C-alpha cells in the first residue's frame, strides 16, 4: 500500500531542530524536528530545495536537517540553509527504510520529541500545510498526523494472470454507479509528510496512538515515484509549488555574465586579431522579453575575463543592454550599482557561471547558472538551467523570471477578489 511503499523507499525526510523551538503542551517542553534527501533537479531547483524552502519558511522548526551519506547532497543541503545528519552505513543500504533513518536520527538527538518526516518526492508542499498539521499535535493533542488527498477512483479487485476468479468491485455498486459530484471519494495518503512523536518512532511506527489525517488539495498532492512522473511534476510544481516568502514580481534588474552565460565562454580570434563570440538568438530574445516587462538587463564581465570595447559595443547594440566591466570585487561593485538604482537584493536577479559569482548568486532574490557551470556555482544558485551557456540558458532563466512574475500577479489578483468577495 502507499504507506508501505513510502517507508521502504530510500526517500527523503526533513528533520528540524537540535536546538528546537520550545512548544508547550500540557506543561511540557517539546522539541520539534524535521529530515530530507535527493538532489535530482526539478524545474531547475534541487528536489530537496522545494520542501526545504517550505520547511524553513514555515517557521515551525528552528533548524532543518537533511539526512544523507553523500558529499554532494551535503553541499546542496547546506547551500539551501539546512544542517546535515550524516547517516551511518547501517541505514544507507538499498534495503534500508526511511523509518530506519528516522530512528537513528532520534537516537542521536534525544532532546527531540516530535519528528516531521517530509518527503522531497512531494514537492508542492507549502509552509501553511506544515503549520496547520503541526498545530493538530501541539494544540489538539494528536500523537501522529499524516497528509492525505481525496481521490475519486473506482477500484476493482486484481485478478492474477491465468486466474479463473472474476474481478469484483471494491468500492462501488456497478448497478448504481454514483456521479463524481455525488460521491465524497476516498482519502489516500499522498506521502507529503508524517508527524510522529518520539514514543511512536521508538515503537517502530510512524502512525499510531491518537492519530489524525491532514487533507491536502489535489493540486498540492504531487508524488514522484517513477521517471515518467517527472515531466508532470515539473509542470505542476511551476504552477502550484512554493517559491518562497519574497514575491518574484519585485525583480527589477537582471545582471547577466557575458562569458559563460550569454556566450559559451569561447573567444574566437581572427587572423587580424579581432575577438569574436557567438550569441544565440534565443538568448537575445529572452532579454527583450524581460525588457518589455519592465525588467532592466545589464550584461557584465569581470576583470579576469574582460570584454573588449568593440565587442561590448556590438553586444550592447544587439541586445539593447548596457555592458559593464567589473573588477575583482564583484559583490561590492554590484552593491554599489544597486545603491545607485535604489534596489535591494530581493529586486535583483543574477546569472553567473563560476566561483567569483557565488556571493551574488546567494544574495540575489533570484539567481541561476547554465547547465554546464561548475558545482560551486550550481550549489549557490537558486535555479539551474537545463540549457548550457550560449545555447539558450539566458532565454530559459528569462522565461523562469517571467513565469514567477505571472504566478505572483495571479495570486495577488486572487487575493484581491477574495477580499472584495468575502
249: nearest Cα among 70, 97, 412: 412
How many angstroms separate the CA atoms of 61 and 6, rounded?
Answer: 23
The torsion angle over the Cα atoms of residues 334, 398, 416 and 234, rounded to 10 degrees, is -120
How many angstroms separate the CA atoms of 344 and 341, rounded?
Answer: 9
Q: What angle do CA 403, 406, 411 make, to 5 degrees?
A: 125
Q: Which residues are catalytic?
A: 177
Backbone angles phi, psi at 158, to 5 degrees: -75, 140
Cβ atoms of 123 and 109 closer than 8 Å: no
How many angstroms separate the CA atoms of 122 and 237, rounded?
Answer: 9
How many angstroms separate the CA atoms of 84 and 86, rounded?
Answer: 6
SS3 194: strand
Q: Classify residue 140 by its DSSP letter.
A: T
Those residues whose C-beta lies under 8 Å from the C-beta of residue 151, and which sit 6 or more positions away, are 185, 186, 187, 188
Amino acid at each position: 500500500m502507499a504507506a508501505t511503499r513510502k517507508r521502504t523507499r530510500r526517500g527523503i525526510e526533513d528533520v528540524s531542530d537540535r536546538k528546537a523551538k520550545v512548544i508547550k503542551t500540557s506543561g511540557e517542553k517539546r522539541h520539534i524536528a524535521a529530515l530530507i534527501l535527493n538532489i535530482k533537479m526539478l524545474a531547475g531547483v534541487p528536489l530537496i530545495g522545494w520542501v526545504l524552502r517550505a520547511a524553513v519558511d514555515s517557521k515551525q522548526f528552528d533548524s532543518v536537517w537533511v539526512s544523507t551519506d553523500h558529499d554532494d547532497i551535503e553541499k546542496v543541503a547546506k547551500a539551501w540553509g539546512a544542517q546535515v545528519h550524516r547517516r551511518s552505513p547501517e541505514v544507507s543500504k538499498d534495503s534500508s527504510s526511511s523509518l530506519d533513518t528516522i530512528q537513528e536520527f532520534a537516537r542521536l538527538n534525544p532532546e527531540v520529541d516530535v519528528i516531521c518526516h517530509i518527503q522531497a518526492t512531494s514537492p508542492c508542499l507549502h509552509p501553511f500545510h506544515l503549520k496547520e498539521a503541526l498545530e493538530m499535535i501541539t494544540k489538539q493533542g494528536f500523537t501522529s498526523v499524516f497528509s492525505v488527498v481525496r481521490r475519486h477512483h473506482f477500484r476493482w479487485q486484481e485478478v492474477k494472470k491465468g486466474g479463473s476468479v472474476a474481478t469484483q468491485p471494491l468500492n462501488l455498486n456497478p448497478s448504481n454507479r454514483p456521479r463524481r459530484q455525488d460521491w465524497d471519494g476516498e482519502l489516500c495518503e499522498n506521502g507529503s509528510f508524517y508527524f510522529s512523536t518520539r514514543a511512536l518512532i521508538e515503537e517502530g511506527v510512524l502512525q499510531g496512538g491518537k492519530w489524525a489525517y491532514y487533507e491536502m488539495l489535489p493540486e498540492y498532492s504531487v508524488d514522484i515515484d517513477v521517471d515518467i512522473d517527472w515531466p508532470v511534476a515539473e509542470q505542476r510544481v511551476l504552477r502550484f509549488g512554493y517559491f518562497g516568502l519574497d514575491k518574484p514580481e519585485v525583480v527589477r534588474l537582471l545582471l547577466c555574465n557575458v562569458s559563460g552565460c550569454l556566450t559559451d565562454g569561447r573567444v574566437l580570434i581572427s587572423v587580424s586579431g579581432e575577438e569574436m563570440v557567438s550569441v544565440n538568438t534565443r538568448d537575445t530574445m529572452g532579454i527583450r522579453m524581460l525588457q518589455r516587462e519592465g525588467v532592466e538587463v545589464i550584461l557584465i564581465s569581470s576583470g579576469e575575463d574582460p570584454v573588449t570595447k568593440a565587442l561590448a559595443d556590438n553586444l550592447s547594440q544587439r541586445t539593447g543592454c548596457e555592458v559593464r566591466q567589473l573588477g575583482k570585487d564583484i559583490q561590492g561593485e554590484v552593491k554599489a550599482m544597486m545603491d545607485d538604482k535604489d534596489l535591494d537584493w530581493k529586486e535583483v536577479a543574477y546569472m553567473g557561471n563560476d566561483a567569483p559569482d557565488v556571493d551574488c548568486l546567494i544574495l540575489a532574490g533570484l539567481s541561476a547558472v547554465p547547465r554546464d557551470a561548475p558545482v560551486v556555482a550550481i550549489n549557490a544558485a537558486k535555479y539551474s538551467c537545463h540549457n548550457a551557456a550560449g545555447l539558450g540558458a539566458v532565454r530559459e532563466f528569462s522565461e523562469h523570471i517571467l513565469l514567477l512574475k505571472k504566478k505572483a500577479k495571479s495570486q495577488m489578483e486572487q487575493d484581491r477578489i477574495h477580499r472584495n468577495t468575502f
